[in-house]
Structure 1
């Protein structure tokens, strides 16, 4: 007679600290924010339940909806720049660094990854100095190569400011997709590469036909991490352009819009209930994006077992 399988208490013991910490700093605040978005203050400054009225105000009141859609559009463009610039460059760098013929590959990996660990404050302040038309070094460098006519106060022009900050963010974080793709390439068995070489598939042809299909799941993970990270972006824009995300809210994203609404800024009074409403919408957007990836993209990716 087979006895009952013993319950593995050690699993609970090891998981409990992580679960408790995650619940305390993530789950409880999340539900608190969702709850706060369903209330507002009446004429006597008493909190009353208003249901979805705050969401109707956010989407229906022109004073709120204009700022929200502007911030959402800027967030979307911020994400597109990272997807079209950061991730392809990261994949290209990983392909180059994985080449056995490249010397000093470890040095290059370290040099490219170092900006990732720098503080947002340092990165924002330094790039603001570099791009300054008054004391920045960018005009001088362009003048040295005969391209000074191309210089413009990129952080001061509405049409350039957001793209400039997105490219600064790309410079800082390109090391993350590079390292993830590099690790995925190292996991490809040598037998697969040797078989490809025996068939005459080498160089970039080998990358496109052999390596790229094998690392598609990793590219998918990087894409969803980029999506979540860019919709949570705040630090760089706040440091470089301030809470008003100038010029004329051209760099305003949902993070800065949430900050001004929740805490207030200058003459704008803080409104925790509308701030919680914006945070709830951000959560729903991120949740929708992740679900689309998990159920429509990830399930269609072909995986290879070695």
Structure 2
């Protein structure tokens, strides 16, 4: 007999909701990917996705775009978040609470609002970006960034960085203020201050938090869909330059315009997305997280 039944009582609602909303749909998706219509197809759908030129070209394009979307966040969003957290944790900065709030506010905005507003800002016809650049003598630098294949995906990634930079900032900030004062005082007594203190003392201690942010960035970017759908539509234009696995799966599963929906192939794409995320998280937990734990105090 279980000696602490109250634990089961408190866990049951969350477990039931999570099972109904996440676990059962996941297994349903995996099952659907193994069928073609009503007939069991085994791994044929995966062979089609990877081997059939009609499917593989779109899949590899979407996967490559997804990787670049993730890379931009890793090399732009997370370093900026760490730098902002380091600045905001300084006792010399006045109005730190206001800056934290202002930077974090875009995180709680709807994707629909963010996508629509940035389309208005960057529009070459009625957007304010050309006028702002013209006011400082840099109008020649303006390009229809959302309308050119070479710039569209990077532009959307940077918009996403603007929206979500508050998350790594707050997580790193929380890790920094949790560093014991004794450690900081000992560093100052040794003459380690300023940015030297950050690199030599604080950074090693916040590595576990940076690792968590990295894996959250990975999962979030390979689940991305909303911003690109709102900004560029289901076709993820121009010419599929912003197509990622989320938009590719949406078009395939539900259909769009003249393309008929194919739930089996859509489930196959979703299963591949799940496998990519699962492998990435597993590699982090077994290869990286164990090494970072030794820095915790």
Q: Above 0.5 in TM-score?
A: yes
Please state how far the C-alpha of 1:299 moved relative to its aligned partner: 1.1
In structure 1, the partner of 2:111 is: 120
After superposition, residues 1-306 of structure 1 pair within 5 angstroms as 7-41=3-37, 47-304=38-295, 306=297
8 Å Cα contact 2:65-2:244 kept in structure 1? yes
Q: Which runs of 4+ in 1 moved over 4 A?
A: none
TM-score normalised per structure 1? 0.96
How many residue pairs get matched? 297
Please state how far the C-alpha of 1:6 moved relative to its aligned partner: 6.5
* Structure 1: tracts of 5 or more residues without a match: 42-46
Output the CA distance in 2 between the equivalents of 1:278 and 1:216. Answer: 33
8 Å Cα contact 2:34-2:45 kept in structure 1? yes
Output the CA distance in 2 between the equivalents of 1:294 and 1:202. Answer: 33
CA RMSD of aligned residues (A): 0.9
Highest CA radius of gyration, 1 or 2? 1
Please state how far the C-alpha of 1:303 moved relative to its aligned partner: 3.1
In structure 2, the partner of 1:44 is: none
TM-score normalised per structure 2? 0.99
8 Å Cα contact 1:217-1:303 kept in structure 2? no
